[in-house]
């Protein structure tokens, strides 16, 4: 179970990078970039935890806030280098949704969700942070622009539940 914890922290950091980069792309200040990184990183997992009748994990575990801060600092410090990489924002989204789909399904199953509910909650964990980020940036959420985004989450979640 420890590996899931570290995957969750890594996914949190990656989504914080994604959120902060989206904000900086819109010339939003460091406070706005930090806020956007925060809601991108914890949005989907918090929603999942609320649906599972749980207190969101970042409230009790400060390591999540450290991971978010680290992600924002990486985005700020390496801003130009990250933007020079082709499709960096999409890359970080892809990494983040992979991590969060697995964590969301695993946590949902751990709390006795049905298989289909675990699939839905895994997908919610993965995409809702990005939906919140894009909405804050006044953009059409990536999930509505890139069909593979949700399909990959759904496929991964179904495979995880099936193999479980």
- Summarised one tens digit per residue, pLDDT across range 10-59 is 889 988 998 999 899 899 999 999 999 999 999 999 999 999 999 999 99
Confidence band of 67 (pLDDT split at 50, 70, 90): very high
Stated as kind and residue range, the H or E segment containing 29 is none
93 backbone dihedrals φ, ψ, rounded to 5°: -60, -45
Closest residue by Cα to residue 25 from 127, 128, 139, 126: 139
Contacts of 162 (CB under 8 A, 6+ apart): none
The helix/strand/coil state of 54 is: coil
As a whole number, mean pLDDT of residues 55-67 equals 96
Which tens digit of pLDDT belongs to each residue from 69-114? 999 999 999 877 766 664 666 776 677 788 889 889 999 999 999 9
Q: Which pLDDT does position 140 carry in this prediction?
A: 86
pTM: 0.84
């Amino acid at each position: 179970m420890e590996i899931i914890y570290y995957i969750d922290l890594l996914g949190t950091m990656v989504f914080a990078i994604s959120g902060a980069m989206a904000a900086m792309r819109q010339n939003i200040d460091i406070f706005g970039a930090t806020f956007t990184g925060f809601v991108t990183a914890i949005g989907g997992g918090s929603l999942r935890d609320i649906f599972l009748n749980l207190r969101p994990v970042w409230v009790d575990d400060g390591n999540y806030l450290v991971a978010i801060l680290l992600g924002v600092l990486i985005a700020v410090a390496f801003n130009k280098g990250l933007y020079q990489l082709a499709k960096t924002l999409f890359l970080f989204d892809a990494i983040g949704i992979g991590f969060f789909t697995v964590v969301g399904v695993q946590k949902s199953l751990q709390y006795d969700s049905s298989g289909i509910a675990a699939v839905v909650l895994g997908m919610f964990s993965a995409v809702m942070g990005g939906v919140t980020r894009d909405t804050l940036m006044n953009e059409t959420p990536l999930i509505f622009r890139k069909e593979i985004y949700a399909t990959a989450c759904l496929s991964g979640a179904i495979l995880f539940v099936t193999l479980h």
